Amino acid sequence: MLTGAGVSAESGVPTFRDAQTGLWARFDPRELATPAAFAKNPRLVWDWYAWRRERVSRVEPNAGHRALVEIERRVPEFVLITQNVDGLHQRAGSRRIVELHGNITRVKCSREGTHVERWDASDGEVPQCPSCGALLRPDVVWFEEMLPPDALAAAENAASRCDLMLVAGTSAEVYPAAALPRFAEEAGAIVVEVNPDSTALSHRVDYALRAPSGVALPALVAASWTA
Ligand code: NAD
């Protein structure tokens, strides 16, 4: 299973391609989610993530997230590979997750990469690493950064060993995640896309379910396990 931002859309988390709303509407994610942006204006980038983290903390997993928990419960080999950083799969109850792009709820040292559990940003400044004093940053993969090698290897391994891959809520434009369905395809797996719109992947998939994931995934579960 590969998920992208669209799976969280019905929870109220906008995809990057949706219009951003309110205060941050004029900021382009491709200009904020980069190492260069953080080097130039760490406060702006920190505040943007703090805003997204706060927004995510106020929403709930939706029926699509819950359907994937149900599939994990019933299919021992099920692996959930996600590009999402919002932690909603985990909050819904999914456990066998490969996080390709990190998680917005975690923070790490910008120099050493060590995770930091608690931080205080109440003075409005970007907090510093308690051990080395470098600035803290969100534990997410920015544009131009490498994916965590272990996560990428686990994702490629799962994709190349599966016999069915569901691909939900992703435009399939961000690599290397977008290449994963091809691993499945080359292994002879059936690839099913769940997305209301067609994507860069659509012409290659075996089946396309043109519906929101909050509708299509529960329907798949119901059709698979209720007589
Ligand atoms: P994307 O924004 O490129 O594409 C979203 C896709 O979801 C589109 O194809 C759209 O048609 C589809 N979609 C919209 N509503 C849907 C629904 N209800 N059900 C199913 N599909 C729906 O997202 P991406 O491919 O994940 O790539 C964007 C990058 O931005 C990723 O790296 C991701 O980490 C990051 N991102 C994450 C979040 C999040 O964690 N929630 C939000 C925004 C961006």
pLDDT interval class at 20 (50, 70, 90): low
Report how far ligand 1's centroid is from the alpha carbon of 127 (Å): 29
Q: Which of 89, 101, 115, 203 is catalytic?
A: 101
What is the signed CA dihedral for 152, 157, 158, 162, rounded to 10 degrees? 140
Candidates 3.40.50.1970, 3.10.180.10, 3.40.50.2000, 3.40.50.1220; correct CATH number of 2-224? 3.40.50.1220
**Spatial separation of the C-alpha atoms in residues 114 and 152, rounded to whole Å:** 19
Report how far ligand 1's centroid is from the alpha carbon of 3 (Å): 8
Taking Cα atoms as reference points, which of 212, 182, 181 lies closest to residue 195?
Answer: 212
* Each residue's pLDDT tens digit, 25-81: 778 887 889 999 999 999 999 999 999 999 999 999 999 999 999 999 999 999 999
Report how far ligand 1's centroid is from the alpha carbon of 131 (Å): 35
- pTM > 0.75: yes or no: yes
**Spatial separation of the C-alpha atoms in residues 153 and 127, rounded to whole Å:** 32
State yes or no: pLDDT of 24 exceeds 90: no
pLDDT interval class at 21 (50, 70, 90): low
**Residue 115: predicted pLDDT:** 95
Task: State whether the beta carbon of 120 lies less than 6 angstroms from ligand 1.
Answer: no
State yes or no: pLDDT of 205 exceeds 90: yes
Atom of ligand 1 nearest to the CA of 212: 19
Q: For residue 101, indicate whether it is catalytic.
A: yes
* Residue 168, strand partner residues: 3, 194
* Each residue's pLDDT tens digit, 162-176: 999 999 999 999 999
Q: Examine residue 176 and say whether the peptide bond preceding it is cis (omega within 30 degrees of 0).
A: yes
* Each residue's pLDDT tens digit, 72-119: 999 999 999 999 999 999 999 999 999 999 999 999 999 999 999 999
* Residue 190, strand partner residues: 164
Protein residue with least CA distance to atom 40, ligand 1: 84
pLDDT interval class at 227 (50, 70, 90): low
Tell me what the pLDDT averaged over the chain comes to: 94
Output DSSP code: residue 128: B
pLDDT interval class at 19 (50, 70, 90): low
Mean pLDDT for the stretch of residues 191-213: 97
- H or E stretch covering 131: none
Taking Cα atoms as reference points, which of 72, 75, 94, 78 lies closest to residue 158?
Answer: 78
Task: State whether the beta carbon of 83 lies less than 6 angstroms from ligand 1.
Answer: yes
Would you list the DSSP string of 101-121?
A: SEEEEEEEETTT--EES----
Domain layout of the chain by residue ranges = 2-224
Protein residue with least CA distance to atom 6, ligand 1: 170
Protein residue with least CA distance to atom 41, ligand 1: 5
Residue that has been written with the tokens 């980038």 in this structure: 45
Report how far ligand 1's centroid is from the alpha carbon of 227 (Å): 33
**Residue 104: predicted pLDDT:** 96
Report how far ligand 1's centroid is from the alpha carbon of 130 (Å): 34
Task: State whether the beta carbon of 15 lies less than 6 angstroms from ligand 1.
Answer: yes
